Amino acid sequence: MLQCVSTEDDFVGAAVTLSVRVRDLLPRDLPACTWSGSATHLSHVERELGRAAAGEVDYLAVCTPVDLPVAIGGVDYQVSEGAGTLWQLAVLPALQSCGLGTLLVRAAEHRIRDRGLYRAELAVEEDSPRARALYERLGYVAYGREPDAWDEEGPDGSVRRHETMCVLMRKAL
């Protein structure tokens, strides 16, 4: 649906309603997910899809009507006993702040409940106040902090270690 906002002389803007659906992320989707990170990151995601096939994780995709992923993220069931741990949440930069992250988190929580579990957990970097505010708005409560580290690939292909401090958050479902 498209609603145009314009004055007599100028086109000013428009509001577009986009239908999306949530499904499992599949290996064939990966070429359309380059917006979510580097080649190294995507090879990590590909490995996680192997774990999804084995039932160890769920990996979700929010897709547009032409079935292209615009938000992806996983739930790992092997991190914390009795809980699903949300991780690698990412929304296409051009569509952030439209509610897709909220939809992805809610879909992930449904998957956790479908497995008979009643707790969701996640870790958010201390210097990501916007992401943390989103999780607090969705009912997640901080219960600790923990250092984390991973390899990051720069635009020139060089890989460096990213070390960070994360806030641990959880929510009863």
Ligand X SMILES: CC(C)(COP(=O)(O)OP(=O)(O)OC[C@H]1O[C@@H](n2cnc3c(N)ncnc32)[C@H](O)[C@@H]1OP(=O)(O)O)[C@@H](O)C(=O)NCCC(=O)NCCS
In this complex, which beta carbon is closest to ligand X, that of residue 115 or of residue 130? 130
Candidate list 25, 124, 167, 169; residue touching ligand X; CB under 6 A: 124
Where does this chain touch ligand X (CB under 6 A) — which range of 12-20, 23-31, 92-100, 157-165?
92-100
Q: Does 98 bind ligand X (CB under 6 A)?
A: yes
Task: Rank residues 116 and 155 by Cβ distance to ligand X and give the closer one.
Answer: 155
Asked if 14 and 60 count as a contact pair (C-beta separation under 8 A), the reply is no
**What is the DSSP annotation of 40-95?**
HHHHHHHHHHHHHHTTSEEEEEEE-TT--EEEEEEEESSSSTT-EEEEEEEE-GGG
> Is the Cβ–Cβ distance between 120 and 76 less than 8 Å?
no
> Which range of residues in 21-29, 53-61, 100-108, 149-157 is near ligand X by CB under 6 A?
100-108
Mask for 52-91, x = binds ligand X (CB under 6 A):
-------------------------------------xxx
Q: Are 7 and 50 in contact (CB under 8 A)?
A: no
Q: Hey, what are 114's tokens?
A: 């479908």
What is the spatial distance between Cα 5 and Cα 16, in angstroms, rounded to a whole number?
Answer: 11
Nearer to ligand X, 42 or 98 (CB): 98
Q: Which is nearer to ligand X, 68 or 133 (CB)?
A: 133
